């Protein structure tokens, strides 16, 4: 199978507020925004220059199969992002008002930090160590 993951659903309380948070504070770009006349708005954000998109799914939205009825903001494990300099990125995000649950800290495999969005969804940023360091 030749495939790649392009979208991850992220449950939020309000799509407009989530778009503003991810574009203004995190620095992602809006990738798509469709508002069909007979359906829910489809809006995605993601890191600039990458194919990965977070599909912002508003809690309480209906879906044809009823699968989303139990989805809640902040109920998934952290989304992990790789960065070149965890401390620098953390300082930059803090300067934009980001609240960290875990400040950058060294562990056996990386320097890591953890922040959450206004809906409680968590993001871990990792600066991985070179093998053998």
Residue 30, domain CATH: 3.10.180.10
| Domain-embedded: residue 61 | yes
- Residue 30 exposed, middle or buried by CB count within 10 Å (0-12, 13-18, 19+): middle
pLDDT at 128 over 90: yes
pLDDT at 106: 94
Phi, psi angle pair for 9, to nearest 5°: -80, 135
Domain contains 121: yes
Residue 66 sits in the same domain as residue 87? no
Given 27, 44, 70, the domain boundary residue is 70
User: Range of 98's domain?
Assistant: 79-128
Q: Average pLDDT for residues 69-89, to the nearest whole number?
A: 91
Whether 63 shows a pLDDT value over 60: the answer reads yes
Does 2 reside within a domain?
no
Q: Residue 18: which pLDDT band, with cuts at 50, 70 and 90?
A: very high
Q: At 82, is the secondary structure helix, strand, or coil?
A: strand
Work out the mean pLDDT of the chain and round it to a whole number: 91
Structural domains of the chain, count: 2
Q: How confident is the model at residue 92 (pLDDT cuts 50, 70, 90)?
A: very high
């Amino acid at each position: 199978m030749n495939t790649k993951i392009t979208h991850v659903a992220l449950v939020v309380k309000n799509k407009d507020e989530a778009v503003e948070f991810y574009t203004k504070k995190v620095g992602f770009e809006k990738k798509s925004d469709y508002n069909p006349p007979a359906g829910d708005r489809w809006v995605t954000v993601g890191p600039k220059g990458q194919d990965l998109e977070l599909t912002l799914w508003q809690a309480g939205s209906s879906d044809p199969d009823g699968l989303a009825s139990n989805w809640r903001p902040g109920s998934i494990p952290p989304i992990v992002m790789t960065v070149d300099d965890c401390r620098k990125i953390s300082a930059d995000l803090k300067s934009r008002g980001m609240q960290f649950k875990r400040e950058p800290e060294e562990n056996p495999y990386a320097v890591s930090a953890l922040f959450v969005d206004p809906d409680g969804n968590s993001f871990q940023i990792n600066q991985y160590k070179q093998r053998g360091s």
